[in-house]
């Protein structure tokens, strides 16, 4: 079976500015691909090309098996939440979804049923008859996701779905996305800045930087690809800092122990072998044996965010 999304050498120029250069990747059906990149990396341009809003300057792609030469057919198979989606303020949520359902070919009655079901799925049933102008930002994002589902798409493109939301709103949106991917079996391309969420729900990651693919693969593969330096950070009680410093400085495999600036009780550790983190096990045991409780511990450089920063800053 062909991939859900496949791009080969896609390039997008705006006049002399290259927004996307040689975008080549594939996403298998049912996967959730996290599309990452700093501002101006070309994420939105890439999504707009793949969703047929913009024509590529060069290259080919296919979505749900439909080639880019048939954009109307692609649009039948996809659902999209654009980055800066606007909504008609005076329409109600129900009216809005019914309209888009009809644009996708539903009759009047089936559009009504689709709208009611999607509003329930997005947790907006209580606000169905309220004007969209009264919706909070989080509600609008969920409405946008609901609209992206009116045609039961095979592929769902979500461009910054949690942009501008508080943590509670972010959690609601991502829970919805996870449920959609699981229950509908749709392939999801999720563009976001929230690396933690990408680690949590995405099966694969695509990192863009200055219009080019910087990395692609699973989260673990991309993290390893960056070969980010391994270090650790731990926090102990303030009156145990000097004792912890003494214990850790004596541990084999740890080359430096320093107080972290501006973070009371926090020590930053540098490993001698930056690819080998096993000395940390010994260090933690030594602290426990020395009666120093560890309040917080984190191994840095093994996170996606570390790989992201390493890849995008080095370019």
Which residues in this chain contact other proteins in the complex, by CB under 8 A?
A: 13-15, 48, 51-55, 72, 75-76, 78, 80, 82, 84-88, 90-92, 95, 99-100, 102-107, 110, 113-114, 117-118, 121, 129-131, 134, 147, 152, 184
CB of 102 to other proteins, least distance (A): 5
DSSP one-letter code for 260? P
| Cα distance between residue 315 and residue 309, in whole Å | 10
136: Cα separation from own chain's centroid: 22
CB of 262 to other proteins, least distance (A): 40
* Angle (nearest 5°) at CA 213 between 10 and 51: 45
The encoded tokens of residue 291 equal 């009666």
| Cα distance between residue 42 and residue 210, in whole Å | 7
Residue 104 vs 297, nearer CB to other proteins: 104
Residue 50 vs 304, nearer CB to other proteins: 50
CB of 115 to other proteins, least distance (A): 10
Residue 15 vs 262, nearer CB to other proteins: 15
88 closest CA partner among 124, 120, 135: 135
222 closest CA partner among 232, 209, 211: 209
The encoded tokens of residue 211 equal 């219009």
DSSP one-letter code for 247? H
Residue 90 vs 252, nearer CB to other proteins: 90
Residue 124 vs 207, nearer CB to other proteins: 124
Which residues have C-beta within 8 Å of that of residue 216, sequence separation ≥ 6? 25, 204, 205, 206, 207, 222
CB of 81 to other proteins, least distance (A): 9
Q: Could you give the C-alpha distances from 72 to 29, 125, 242, in angstroms and in order?
A: 21, 31, 67
CB of 121 to other proteins, least distance (A): 7
Residue 108 vs 252, nearer CB to other proteins: 108
CB of 1 to other proteins, least distance (A): 23
């Amino acid at each position: 079976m062909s991939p859900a999304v496949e791009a080969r050498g896609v390039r997008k120029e705006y006049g002399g500015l290259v927004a996307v250069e040689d975008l080549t990747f594939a996403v298998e059906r049912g996967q959730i691909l996290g599309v990452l990149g700093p501002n101006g990396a070309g994420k939105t341009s890439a999504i707009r090309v793949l969703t047929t809003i913009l024509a590529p300057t060069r290259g080919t792609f296919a979505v749900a098996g439909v080639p880019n030469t048939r954009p109307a057919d692609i649009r039948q198979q996809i659902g999209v939440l654009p980055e800066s989606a606007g909504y008609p303020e005076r329409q109600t949520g129900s009216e809005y979804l019914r309209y888009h359902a009809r644009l996708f070919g539903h009759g009047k009655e089936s559009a009504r049923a689709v709208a009611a079901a999607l509003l329930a799925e997005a947790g907006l049933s209580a606000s169905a008859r309220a004007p969209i102008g009264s919706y909070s930002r989080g509600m609008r994002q969920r409405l946008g996701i609901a609209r992206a589902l009116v045609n039961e798409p095979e592929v769902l493109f979500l461009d910054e779905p949690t942009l501008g939301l508080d943590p509670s709103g972010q959690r609601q949106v991502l829970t919805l996305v996870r449920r959609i991917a699981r229950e509908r079996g749709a392939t999801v391309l999720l563009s976001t800045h929230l690396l933690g969420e990408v680690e949590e729900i995405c099966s694969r990651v695509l990192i863009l930087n200055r219009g080019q693919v910087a990395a692609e693969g699973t989260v673990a593969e991309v993290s390893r690809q960056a070969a980010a330096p391994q270090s650790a950070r731990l926090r102990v009680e303030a009156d145990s800092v000097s004792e912890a410093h003494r214990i850790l400085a004596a541990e084999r495999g740890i080359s430096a122990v320093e107080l972290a600036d501006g973070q009371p009780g926090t020590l930053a550790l540098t490993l001698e072998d930056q690819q080998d983190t096993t000395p940390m096990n010994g260090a933690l045991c030594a602290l426990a044996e020395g009666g120093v409780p560890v309040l917080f511990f984190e191994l840095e450089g093994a996170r996606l965010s570390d790989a992201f920063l390493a890849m995008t800053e080095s370019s």
